[in-house]
Amino acid sequence: MASSNIVRRDHLGRLVVLTALRSSRPHDFGHQKQPKVQQPKGCFFCPGNEHLTPPEIFRIEKEGRWEVRVFPNKFPAFDSQSKSAYGRHEVIVETPNHYATLSELSVENLFDYLSALSLRLADAKKDPKLKYTSIFKNEGKEAGCSLEHSHSQLVSMPFIPPFIKKLSKKSKAFAKLASSSKLCWASNQYFVALCPKAPRFHLETLILPKQPEASMDLMDAEKLYSLAEILKTALVAIDRAANFPPYNIIFHNAPHGMESFPFHLQIIPRLSIWAGFELSTEIVMLSDSPVQMAEKLRKASIG
């Protein structure tokens, strides 16, 4: 019997083995929604506990109460006092609701969240010593999250990471991805959500602009709202399809001062663990094809 296994290269040249036989392995992709065990009273990020965090540096308010709140990370990777690791490391609390996940927030709340990220990115660019800002969210312990209350992080550094330099040369590859009808499973006026042709994670999703964009801080309010809408659609679909899995969201913005860059969001569900093969070869094995993943998420997105 002929094997159905396929080796593919992703948009960055990394190898992925698509092998349908592995989908029959026991416990593959099994997940249950994890309840939050910490109570709001003892949560550093809940309203009323603002004194437990470093001094606030930014907030967005609604009806006299904060909707999004930003403050320095208590344990920074980069800070203004370091010579070799000069920079900034901020925490963005996305909602005052202790129990809500990002997919459960309204589009309006997500727009406020993205606006806060955009403004903090623009502020980081004012420092000539800083060359790149990483923005990311870890959801769940398996994705590296140490505190239950939903939050994101912003890390600005005095150099451009090699991986980002590689990304900066791939604008054509991302533009080609954005036009793929088979892999796209959701779209709106300005953005598409799709599964990459060689996914490295089960249900991995990219959110790409239909027209070239370099960075969130260069988008107007209409485009940011459109981004909030499709982010909501994507997260709801992933949570429905995999029962609120742990995940990472990575906001790929242009290095400071760079006008051409393939801006995109990468949503990485953490439903399986890389083992010896992946770690020893940097080749990923995955069971579902990207077309199957896209169809699964397309169905989940419409309820």
Please indicate, yes or no, if residue 154 is contained in any of the structural domains: yes
Q: How many domains does the chain have?
A: 1
Please indicate, yes or no, if residue 3 is contained in any of the structural domains: no
Nearest to 113 by CA among 78, 56, 159, 153: 153
Please indicate, yes or no, if residue 147 is contained in any of the structural domains: yes
Instruction: Determine the pLDDT at residue 40.
Output: 83
Which secondary-structure segment (H or E) carries 155?
Answer: strand 151-157
Please indicate, yes or no, if residue 123 is contained in any of the structural domains: yes
Please indicate, yes or no, if residue 107 is contained in any of the structural domains: yes
Residues 43-98: tens digit of each pLDDT: 999 999 999 999 999 999 999 999 999 999 999 999 999 988 999 999 999 999 99
**Residue 110 CA, distance from chain mean position:** 13
Which region holds residue 272: left if phi is over 0, alpha if psi is between -120 and 50, else beta?
beta
Please indicate, yes or no, if residue 21 is contained in any of the structural domains: no
CB 298 within 8 A of CB 186: yes
Average pLDDT along the chain: 91
Please determine, for residue 38, whether its predicted confidence score (pLDDT) is greater than 50.
yes
Instruction: Determine the pLDDT at residue 301.
Output: 93
Alpha-carbon span 91 to 206, nearest angstrom? 23
Please determine, for residue 144, whether its predicted confidence score (pLDDT) is greater than 80.
no
User: Residue 180 sits in a domain of what CATH number?
Assistant: 3.30.428.10
Q: Is residue 30 very low, low, confident or very high in pLDDT (cuts 50, 70, 90)? A: low
Please indicate, yes or no, if residue 284 is contained in any of the structural domains: no
Which secondary-structure segment (H or E) carries 63?
Answer: none
* Token pair of 135 as six digits: 């923005």
Query: What would the mean pLDDT of 197-203 be, rounded to a whole number?
Result: 92
Residues 252-302: tens digit of each pLDDT: 999 999 999 999 999 999 988 888 988 899 888 888 889 999 999 999 998
For residue 88, give its domain range.
56-272+289-301
Instruction: Determine the pLDDT at residue 22.
Output: 53
Which tops the pLDDT comparison, 180 or 126?
Answer: 126
Please indicate, yes or no, if residue 22 is contained in any of the structural domains: no
Bridge pairing between strands 205-209 and 264-269:
antiparallel
Nearest to 258 by CA among 147, 167, 151: 167
Alpha-carbon span 247 to 103, nearest angstrom? 12
Helix boundaries (H) for the chain: 107-124, 162-167, 171-178, 221-242, 276-281, 290-301
